[in-house]
Amino acid sequence: MDILAGFTTSGVTGSIQVNGLTRDLSAFRRSSAYIMQDDNLQPLLTVSEIMHVAADLKLDSSQSERKSAIDLILTEMGLYEHKSTQSGRLSGGQKKRLAIALELISNPPIMFFDEPTSGLDSVTSRQCLGLLKSLTRDGRTIVCTIHQPSATLFDMIDHLYVLAEGRCCYAGGTQNLVAFLKSNGLKCPNYHNPADYLLEIINGDYGDHLPNLVRSTENGRSGFWRKRTTGHHNVLASQDGGCAARLVSSGLDLAPRIPLPATPIFYDCDRRSQAYYATGCWRQLCILLRRNALALSRHRVLTFTRLSMHLCVALLVSLIFYKIGQDAKYAKENFALLFFSMMFIMFSAFNTSLITFPQELPILTREHFNRWYKLRSFYLANRLADLPVQIGAASMYALVVYYLSGQIPEAFRLALFVTMYVIVSLVAQCIGQIVGTSLNVKSAVIFGPFFILPFMIFSGFFVHMSDAQPYLHWLFHGSFLKYGYEAVMVAVYGYGRPRMDCTDDFCYFIYPETVMKTLDMPNSDYWFSFLVLCSLYAALETLSYVILRGSRAADRASLLRTGSDPNLANGQGSTPLHLICERDREGSMLETFLRVSEEISDDQPVVRVDVEFFDRYKPTWNFFGGGEIARAAKEIEVKPSVSLDDLIGPFLEVEQPMTVDRVAAAAVTCWDLWKFESSRGFRELPRECRANCGSILSSIVALGFLHYLEMIPED
């Protein structure tokens, strides 16, 4: 399903063709939608708000037209009465319907569903599959996976494909399954669900009949059992058109009418090819920023907790170190206060980003793949929405500590003090975001402190750089906490601060110059540290964005390696996929079935998508074109002597602009090679192979930076 929908594009051999032509993946995504198994929705937004966000992003029409489309779709989905309910409070079936409604806004002709009935009870499952059945009346292709359907659900399926151990044991109409089994000497008992009976046969409850079934259906190649009766289809043909039909008949454009250069793909006669995204980057940013701000304002527990935590810790610390800032007797205690405050700001920002940002990634995966917005729009909106809260929390902490600890009451010193704590918190937040994007939540929580502790060790507070070994000095220069701590000390003790008070007989740190020399900061400059931290912040933001792009491509590639079918995951029993669509003569519905068969020969498996329509509909559909990807899709043999051309050659041969996703996919292959050879030791790897690994990983960073500057296009 992931391969057919175009979600998984790397780590897959073979080609996907439509009517004998190589599929244009970009055009295919414009005309399809993929509703995944997990209904990843914004839990704090209402049904109406989520629909309006989707409509604003996917439709280039007036506000009244978008509202009419939303109301009509919600009515058809049975969600109009719940439009003021937050999505987090919906039932499982309602969430599934909402996920479908969100993609119906763009009216895609092909919709893929990954286990739409998973986690639903029998009644809700029947309603969900019945809804999908009704969507075919609008001329849509509905392809879905389903496990162990009940008799009622089984009767709703038009064409069935059954896979067992990587081989096709039945491909045809559901009404022909009993006859198919009978022809193989297997009689389905009366009043027994044929689907359950077939699963029992596959599991070996009645002996090993699987090889016979595979031979009988020619491993999915035979079309004999795809013949079907037409009785139950006439009922649907007599019914009124569905939601999209009424939307089109009402004159409402469900998608922007923007010319598409070359290789258009199936669209109705009253719909033209559209741009990959319906709205521009700036409009996407504004819409997503409004959505994130609304969700953040309703997430009062998280927002209030962050602010109150900073306030409570600031009051507690100030109570311990109350009014010590101008007394030279407590200079060392003041050093500890300032450094502890910086550590607290660092850890709080790091941990918050480490936990919260990965929770947004499932939503990003669904929405970005279905062409809601560009990745850069999501990233910028996410960062900008959280910026006021983070700046407010860090500023509040710094203000309270500065005043109650009795630091010198000068406005410009206070401004420098607060500014530095804010910048340090933003840098730490970026690091947390990078770790959270690179690892899953559990691993990030466990290993996160190991990424941040080195910055604290080499900050210059515990060990001065002058006292450390020369070969460790570069670690001090790489610690952002060192620059932050030095800048804070300059703000408090620098800029010609006068002689401090001393409540003891003798105070060593009575002169601020003595403080700076003792701390090995005699020549420290606030603005140099400020520029270093600002540059580091910009670099980390760019790196975080590049890693986010790479992780999206890697996640798609990893689906095959971590899938539920071990044979497919290990590349065993590779099966070409055949998606065959046809419309009956009455034009009542678009029926789809998926036929998977195994290539017996050693030839490279080919994925073909054959779409046939009758004369009535021939003028209304166009198909893919272009054969460069097919020529470039060659199998890469994993071996120690693999060259750079072998790794990224297929991506470079395609006559399309090089993008981050393409290089990231090559890096996944490179990483697999690295792991494949790890058991033999890294040193045994050929020098060329090691160099190629580094070249590809470096290319990701370079291309990501160029893409950030909009010098290369986005997929």
* Residue in 661, 668, 667 with CA at minimum distance from that of residue 697: 667
Question: How does pLDDT run across 514-558, given as a tens digit for each residue?
Answer: 888 888 888 889 999 999 999 999 999 999 999 988 876 555 444
Question: How does pLDDT run across 553-588, given as a tens digit for each residue?
Answer: 555 444 433 343 333 333 333 232 222 233 232 332
Q: What pairing do the DSSP bridges indicate for beta strands 159-164 and 16-18?
A: unpaired
Question: What is the average pLDDT across 365-383?
Answer: 89
Q: Which residue has the tokens 């699963």?
A: 199
> What residues pair up with 577 in beta bridges, in sequence order?
596
In angstroms, the CA 675 to CA 683 distance is 13
Q: Is the pLDDT of residue 142 over 60?
A: yes
Provide the number of structural domains found in the chain. 3
pLDDT band at residue 389 under the 50/70/90 scheme: very high
pLDDT band at residue 400 under the 50/70/90 scheme: very high
List, in order, residues 6 or more apart from 186 with CB less than 8 Å away: 197, 201, 206, 209
Query: Which residue type sits at 476?
Result: F
On whether residue 371 sits in a domain, the answer given is no
Give phi and psi for 578, each to the nearest 5: -120, 115
* Residue in 28, 139, 105 with CA at minimum distance from that of residue 625: 28
Q: Do 411 and 516 fall within a single domain?
A: yes
Rounded to the nearest 5 degrees, what angle is found at the Cα of 412, between the Cα atoms of 408 and 415? Answer: 95
Q: Is the pLDDT of residue 149 over 80?
A: yes
Q: Do 481 and 342 fall within a single domain?
A: yes
Q: Do 417 and 517 fall within a single domain?
A: yes
Q: Do 200 and 320 fall within a single domain?
A: no
On whether residue 298 sits in a domain, the answer given is no
pLDDT band at residue 17 under the 50/70/90 scheme: low
Predicted pLDDT of residue 627: 31
Query: Which residue type sits at 416?
Result: L
Question: What is the average pLDDT across 381-407?
Answer: 93
Q: What is the 3-state secondary structure (H, E, C) of 43-54?
A: CCCEHHHHHHHH
Radius of gyration of the chain (CA): 31
> What residues pair up with 372 in beta bridges, in sequence order?
none
Q: Do 549 and 689 fall within a single domain?
A: no
- Of 501, 530, 553, the position where a domain reaches its end is 553
Predicted pLDDT of residue 702: 42
What strands, in cross-sheet order, belong to the sheet with 21-22?
21-22, 16-18, 607-611, 577-583, 590-596
> What residues pair up with 590 in beta bridges, in sequence order?
583
The region of weakest confidence among 32-36, 402-406, 668-672, 675-679 is 675-679
Question: What is the average pLDDT across 167-174?
Answer: 87
Q: Residue 637: is it exposed, middle or buried by C-beta count within 10 angstroms (0-12/13-18/19+)?
A: exposed
Q: Is the pLDDT of residue 315 over 50?
A: yes
Query: Which residue type sits at 85?
Result: T
Q: Is the pLDDT of residue 47 over 80?
A: yes
Predicted pLDDT of residue 647: 43
Q: Is the pLDDT of residue 68 over 80?
A: yes
Predicted pLDDT of residue 36: 85
In angstroms, the CA 10 to CA 636 distance is 12
Residue 227 sits in a domain whose CATH number is 3.40.50.300
Q: Is the pLDDT of residue 88 over 50?
A: yes
The region of weakest confidence among 61-75, 135-149, 470-484 is 135-149
- Of 511, 534, 553, the position where a domain reaches its end is 553
Against a cut of 0.75, is the pTM above it?
Answer: no
Q: What percent of the chain has pLDDT over 70?
A: 70
Q: Do 541 and 419 fall within a single domain?
A: yes
Give phi and psi for 66, each to the nearest 5: -65, -40
Q: Is the pLDDT of residue 269 over 90?
A: no
* 267, containing H or E segment: none
What is the dihedral sign for C-alpha 568, 571, 576, 580? positive
Q: Is the pLDDT of residue 143 over 50?
A: yes
Q: Do 210 and 317 fall within a single domain?
A: no
Predicted pLDDT of residue 503: 80
Q: Which residue has the tokens 């089109």?
A: 248
* Residue in 576, 578, 614 with CA at minimum distance from that of residue 598: 576
Please tell me which of 150-154, 425-429, 465-469 the model is most confident about, judged by mean pLDDT.
425-429
In angstroms, the CA 269 to CA 257 distance is 12
Q: Which domain holds residue 84?
A: 25-249
Per residue in 295-326, is it b (16+ CB within 10 Å) or e — as a string? bbebeeeebeebeeebeebbeebbeebeebbe
On whether residue 291 sits in a domain, the answer given is no
Q: Do 642 and 504 fall within a single domain?
A: no
On whether residue 262 sits in a domain, the answer given is no
Give the chain's mean pLDDT. 72
Q: Is the pLDDT of residue 657 over 90?
A: no
In angstroms, the CA 338 to CA 668 distance is 44
pLDDT band at residue 649 under the 50/70/90 scheme: very low
Q: Residue 674: is it exposed, middle or buried by C-beta count within 10 angstroms (0-12/13-18/19+)?
A: middle
Q: Is the pLDDT of residue 383 over 80?
A: yes
Q: What percent of the chain has pLDDT over 90?
A: 21
* Residue in 312, 378, 298, 380 with CA at minimum distance from that of residue 348: 312
Q: Which residue has the tokens 């639903």?
A: 120
In angstroms, the CA 59 to CA 302 distance is 33
pLDDT band at residue 646 under the 50/70/90 scheme: very low
Task: Indicate the DSSP class of residue 317.
Answer: H
Predicted pLDDT of residue 19: 58
Q: Do 481 and 344 fall within a single domain?
A: yes
Which of the pair, 125 or 242, is modelled with greater confidence?
A: 125
Predicted pLDDT of residue 538: 95
Q: Do 539 and 421 fall within a single domain?
A: yes
In angstroms, the CA 283 to CA 288 distance is 9
Predicted pLDDT of residue 655: 40
Predicted pLDDT of residue 554: 53
Task: Indicate the DSSP class of residue 582.
Answer: E
- Report how far apart, in Å, the C-alpha atoms of 369 and of each of 32, 280, 402, 665 are: 10, 16, 47, 16
On whether residue 43 sits in a domain, the answer given is yes
Predicted pLDDT of residue 114: 86
Predicted pLDDT of residue 555: 54
| Torsion angle of the four alpha carbons 421, 423, 428, 429, in this order, in degrees rounded to the nearest 10 | 110
Question: What is the average pLDDT across 414-436?
Answer: 94
Question: How does pLDDT run across 184-221, given as a tens digit for each residue?
Answer: 888 888 888 888 888 888 888 888 888 888 888 888 77
Q: How many other β-carbons are positioned within 10 Å of the β-carbon of residue 246?
A: 14
Token pair for 77: 């989905």
In angstroms, the CA 265 to CA 624 distance is 5
Three-state DSSP class for residue 530:
helix
Q: Do 310 and 239 fall within a single domain?
A: no
- Of 249, 271, 293, the position where a domain reaches its end is 249
The region of weakest confidence among 62-66, 240-244, 313-317, 525-529 is 240-244
On whether residue 452 sits in a domain, the answer given is yes
What is the dihedral sign for C-alpha 471, 473, 479, 485? positive
Q: Do 409 and 540 fall within a single domain?
A: yes
On whether residue 565 sits in a domain, the answer given is no
Task: Indicate the DSSP class of residue 204.
Answer: T
Predicted pLDDT of residue 18: 62
Question: How does pLDDT run across 278-313, given as a tens digit for each residue?
Answer: 888 899 999 999 999 998 888 877 888 889 999 999
Query: Which residue type sits at 674?
Result: W
On whether residue 693 sits in a domain, the answer given is yes
Which of the pair, 617 or 376, is modelled with greater confidence?
A: 376
Q: Is the pLDDT of residue 506 over 50?
A: yes
